[in-house]
Amino acid sequence: MFIVTGGAGFIGSCLVKRLNQEGIEDILIVDHLGLTEKWRNLTNKLFADYLEKDTFLSLIEKNGLDKKVEAVFHLGACSSTTEQDASYLLKNNYQFSKVLAKWSLAKKIPFIYASSAATYGDGSQGYADNEAEIQKLRPLNMYGYSKQLFDLWILRNKLMDKIVGIKFFNVYGPNEYHKGDMRSLVVKAFEQIQKEKKIRLFKSYKPEYKDGEQKRDFLYVKDAIEIVMEFFKKPKIRGIYNLGSGVAKTWNDLANALFKALGQKPNIEYIEMPEILRDKYQYFTQADLKKLRAAGVQHKFMDLDGAVADYVTFLKDGKYF
C-alpha cells in the first residue's frame, strides 16, 4: 500500500493519478474534505481507501495500521500563505508531520514530504538547498515558518539521509480549482479573460522592479509529480531538495503565455496590492537546482508557453488530471 496525505488536494491528487498510470491502485488517501470541492479531484482516480486526517493520525499513534506500506508521500498541509491561525498551522503542518515521520522511520518506510520555497523568505539568503543554510532562513509568513520548523526538526534529528524533503516553488496546473484565493494566476487570469478580456496583475512597490516584472519560478504540476516519482524510484537519493524549473519568469511572461494559448492580444491592468501582502511579498524566486542535478535527476522541464498551453486544455473543458 502507498499512503498519500493531501491525496485529494492539488499536487497530491495529481500524484495519485500518476501512480495509477504506473498501475498502482493500492493507495490510502488521507485528507480533510470538509466543505470544499476538492473531492472532485478524486472522481477519476483509483485507490483502495480514504481516511480523514484525524482518524489516520489516531490510527498510526495507536499503531493500528496493519497494512504493508511501500512509501509515504506526505503532501498534506494547510498551504495558505495568508492563514493567521499560527496554532492551527503548527498542529497541522508541523506536529502532524513529526508524528508521521517518526512512524514511517520506525517501520523503515520511505518518507517523502513537501516542504516549500516559502521557507526562503525574501530570498536574501539565496535559494540554495544545502543543509548549512537551512537555519539561516527567515520565512515571511506563518505558513513558510511551519514548513521551516519541520525542515529544522529533520536537520536537528540527523534524518537527512533517511528522508526526502521537497521545497516546491510556484506550482500550478489542473486540480487546483478548489484552492480559492490560493489558486495560481493562470486559473484566476483565465477566468478574468473569459469575463473581461483582460488580466489584472499587482503593481510593484520596489523601484528595481517594474509593474508585472516581479519574478517567480513557475513549476507545472506534471513536472513536479515526475520528480516526486523519481525520488521514489531512486531510494539512494535522500535529503532536502529544491523543486522548481530553475528559471525565473515574470508575471508579465505568465500573462502573455496565457493570452498566447488563448489566441488573444495581451491586455494587462496593474492594480494595487493588498496591504496585508506588501511586507510579505516575494519579488524574486528561483530554484537553485545544482543539488538536484548532482543527485542524478536530469528531468527536462516544460517551458512556460508549452506548460500554460497544456493547462489551458484542461481549463477550457473544466477537466481534471
257 close to 266: Cβ distance less than 8 angstroms:
no
Q: How far apart are CA 244 and CA 11, in angstroms?
A: 14
Q: How far apart are CA 208 and CA 203, in angstroms?
A: 12
Question: How far are the Cα atoms of 183, 191, 209, 212, 312 from residue 266, in angstroms, in the given order?
Answer: 21, 15, 20, 13, 16
75 close to 12: Cβ distance less than 8 angstroms:
yes
**179 is an active site residue:** yes
Which residue is it, cell 497494512? 67
Query: CB within 8 A of 139, min separation 6: which ones?
Result: 118, 119, 120, 121, 145, 147, 148
Helix, strand, or coil (residue 74): strand
**265 is an active site residue:** no
Pairing of the two strands 249-250 and 215-216: antiparallel
Catalytic residue among 143, 145, 281, 311: 143
Catalytic residue among 53, 98, 162, 179: 179
Q: How far apart are CA 125 and CA 6, in angstroms?
A: 30
Q: Looking at the annotation, which residues are catalytic?
A: 143, 179
